[in-house]
């Protein structure tokens, strides 16, 4: 018998979600035959079989989260074609009669006190399913024991709340993990300013132009294009600007990486943007497409909003947000007129970046945007 454990499908990912099994128990597979597809932080990955043989057991079903290095597939031994002893008798399942006597806390139900309650495991499970606080239930069973009927009566007194419970799956699940990590590790600060782009030609590809402005900002202040290790108290300044471009889809936010933007033409940058947008839509992005970002651009203004407090995702130390371009009445060179303004928000990790470094970067970005 051989156990195949889930390998690391990305850059140190702790877990992945089973999307679809291609095999079932009892199937005979070949080496490198796809066993299943798994959804990681941003991509769907097919996992090939490391062995040839008959599958004895599958660990998990579609939608289950599997920890990295946890058992995934059990392969029978080479001589497993011989059936195992059929004389084995499965023992009877015993029903627990133990009455638990402990404080019971239901997630999502506020409690003033946690009283000691008596209830069998099946009754407790029913209470959790119906979202009933056992400390509020009047017990009618022997010796003060709460019965299933007691729980149902209490549930009938609770005004129903309409809605549907939707577990976070796939992209949204991993986004939640990334946001939690950021909240726990990063010391965030956000500064905002405006760039006057009135003189920018109307046919300018603004997303590409914004990326080029960020490359200019990094050239002026390299500290923003870095990774930071809070445990070792070390930062790595990168030579290339690998920009994570936030792309919003119905399934969630994808952030593929456009590499070395400082050495690419406008045409090359637009081609990569289009490629990633198409791949994000049909879920053909690969794990490699998300690796190695050194700074991030969020062009949220294409939908709405002027300024934002953005989330810095470790190990990166900065993210620049571009709000909705608007027209305002302003003064320019002593004259009042209509000006086109783009609002900018820069969030950064204050552990690794000083206020001076952040403002110098933002000033360089604004200067680039306004130079035409």
Helical packing angle, 266-282 and 206-220, nearest 10°: 110
Span 292-324, pLDDT tens digits: 999 999 999 888 899 999 999 999 999 999 999
Q: pTM score > 0.85 for this model? A: no
| Separation of alpha carbons 119 and 123, rounded Å | 6
Span 1-50, pLDDT tens digits: 889 999 887 656 778 889 899 999 999 999 889 999 988 766 788 899 99
The pLDDT score that the predictor gives to residue 78 is 54
- Cα 178 → chain centroid: 5
Dmax (CA) for the chain in angstroms is 97
| C-alpha distances in Å from residue 92, one per residue of 183, 193, 219, 292, 358 | 49, 71, 72, 54, 68
Span 135-183, pLDDT tens digits: 889 888 777 888 888 888 888 887 666 777 788 887 788 888 888 889 9
The pLDDT score that the predictor gives to residue 40 is 78
Lookup: tokens for 68: 């990295």
The pLDDT score that the predictor gives to residue 10 is 67
Question: What are the residues whose beta carbons fall under 8 Å from the beta carbon of 284, sequence distance 6 or more?
Answer: none
φ/ψ of 65, rounded to 5, equals -90, 130
Could you tell me the domains of the chain? 2-75 (2.40.50.100), 100-156 (4.10.320.10), 170-369 (3.30.559.10)
User: Which residues make beta-bridge pairs with 296?
Assistant: 244, 319
């Amino acid at each position: 018998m051989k156990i195949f454990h889930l390998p690391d499908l990305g850059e140190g990912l702790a877990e992945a979600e089973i999307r679809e099994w291609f095999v079932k128990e009892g199937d005979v597979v070949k080496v490198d035959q796809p066993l299943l597809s798994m959804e990681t932080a941003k991509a769907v990955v097919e996992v090939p079989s490391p062995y040839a043989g008959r599958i004895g057991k599958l660990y998990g079903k579609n939608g289950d989260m599997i920890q990295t290095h946890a058992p995934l597939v059990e392969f029978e031994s080479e001589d497993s074609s011989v059936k195992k002893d059929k004389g084995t008798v499965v023992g009877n399942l015993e029903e627990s009669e133990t009455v638990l006597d402990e404080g019971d806390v239901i997630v999502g139900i506020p409690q003033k006190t946690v009283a000691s309650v008596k209830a069998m495991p099946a009754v407790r499970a029913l209470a959790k399913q119906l979202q009933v606080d056992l400390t509020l239930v009047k017990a009618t069973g022997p010796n003060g024991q709460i019965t299933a009927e007691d729980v149902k009566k209490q549930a009938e007194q609770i005004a129903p709340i309409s809605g549907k419970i939707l577990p976070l799956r796939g992209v949204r699940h991993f986004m939640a993990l990334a946001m939690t990590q950021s909240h726990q590790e990063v010391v965030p600060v956000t500064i905002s300013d405006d760039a006057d782009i009135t003189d920018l030609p109307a046919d300018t590809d603004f997303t590409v132009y914004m990326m080029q402005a960020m490359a200019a900002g990094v050239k002026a202040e390299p500290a923003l294009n870095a990774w930071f290790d809070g445990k070792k108290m070390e930062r790595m300044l990168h030579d290339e600007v690998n920009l994570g471009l936030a792309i919003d889809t119905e399934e969630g936010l994808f952030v593929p990486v456009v590499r070395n933007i400082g050495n690419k033409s406008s045409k090359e940058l637009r081609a990569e943007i289009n490629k990633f947008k198409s791949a994000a839509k049909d879920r053909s992005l690969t794990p490699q497409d998300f690796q190695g970002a050194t700074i991030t651009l969020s062009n949220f203004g294409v939908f709405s909003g002027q300024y934002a407090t953005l989330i810095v995702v470790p190990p990166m130390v900065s993210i620049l947000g571009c709000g909705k371009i608007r027209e305002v009445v302003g003064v320019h060179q002593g004259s009042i007129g209509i000006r086109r303004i783009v609002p900018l928000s820069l969030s950064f990790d204050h552990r690794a970046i000083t206020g001076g470094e952040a403002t110098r970067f933002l000033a360089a970005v604004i200067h680039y945007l306004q130079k035409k």
